[in-house]
Amino acid sequence: MISGAFPLPQVVLSATQKNKELLKVSSLIANISQDLLPLLSGEAQIYHPGSVGYKNATTRWATAVSPGFDVIVKVAAESDVQQTILYANSQEKPFLAIGGGHGSSSALKSAQGAIGIWMRGLNGTALAPGSNGSQAIIQAGSLAHEVISDLWDLGKQAVAGGCDCTSFVGPMLGGGHGILQGQYGLLADNMISARVVLGNGSIITVSNTSHSDLYWGLKGAGHNFGIVTSFHYQIHDRVPGMDMFATANYTFTQDKLEAVFTIANQWLTAPHRPVNLMHYGLIAINPSLSPQPIVTLLVYWQGLSIPPSYTAPLTSLNPLTVVHRLLDLRHVNSLTNADSHGSACLEGMGRQLFPTSHEKTWSLPNLRAVLDLFAAFPPELRDSTMMLEAYPVNRVQAIPGNNTAYPDRGRGLLASPLLAYPPGNARLDAEVEGWGRRIRRAMMNGTGEGELVAYVNYAHGDEGNEAVYGYEGWRRERLRGLKRVYDPEERFRFFEPVGV
**CA pair distance 37, 84, nearest whole angstrom:** 9
Q: Mean pLDDT across the stretch 27-52?
A: 89
> Beta partners for 96?
116
Q: What is the pLDDT of residue 24?
A: 55
Q: What is the C-alpha end-to-end distance of the chain, expressed in Å?
A: 37
Checking if the pLDDT of 332 tops 80, the result is yes
Give the C-alpha distances (Å, rounded to integers) separating 336 from 248, 297, 361, 456: 12, 11, 22, 21
Q: Mean pLDDT across the stretch 170-185?
A: 98
**CA pair distance 302, 328, nearest whole angstrom:** 9
Identity (one letter) of the amino acid at 19?
N
Q: What is the pLDDT of residue 12?
A: 40
Checking if the pLDDT of 442 tops 80, the result is yes
Give the C-alpha distances (Å, rounded to integers) separating 481 from 252, 431, 475: 50, 38, 10
Going by pLDDT thresholds of 50, 70 and 90, the confidence category of residue 3 is very low
Structure pTM?
0.93
Checking if the pLDDT of 125 tops 60, the result is yes
Contact 262/317 with Cβ under 8 angstroms? no
Percent of the chain residues topping a pLDDT of 70: 94
Q: What is the pLDDT of residue 6?
A: 29
Checking if the pLDDT of 16 tops 80, the result is no
Identity (one letter) of the amino acid at 173?
L
**CA pair distance 189, 365, nearest whole angstrom:** 34
- pLDDT tens, 344-356? 999 999 999 999 9
Mean pLDDT, rounded, of the chain: 94
**CA pair distance 107, 105, nearest whole angstrom:** 5
DSSP at 92: T
Largest Cα span, the chain: 76
Percent of the chain residues topping a pLDDT of 90: 92
* Pick from 213, 390, 372, 378: nearest CA to 298: 390
- pLDDT tens, 387-421? 999 999 999 999 999 999 999 999 999 999 999 99
- pLDDT tens, 197-231? 999 999 999 999 999 999 999 999 999 999 999 99
Going by pLDDT thresholds of 50, 70 and 90, the confidence category of residue 17 is low
DSSP for 374-438 reads: HHT--GGGTT-EEEEEE---HHHHHS-GGGSS---TT--EEEEEEEEE-SS-HHHHHHHHHHHHH
Going by pLDDT thresholds of 50, 70 and 90, the confidence category of residue 8 is very low
Identity (one letter) of the amino acid at 282?
L
Q: What is the pLDDT of residue 4?
A: 42
Q: Mean pLDDT across the stretch 170-189?
A: 98
Q: Mean pLDDT across the stretch 448-472?
A: 97
Q: Mean pLDDT across the stretch 132-143?
A: 98
* Pick from 308, 260, 302: nearest CA to 278: 302
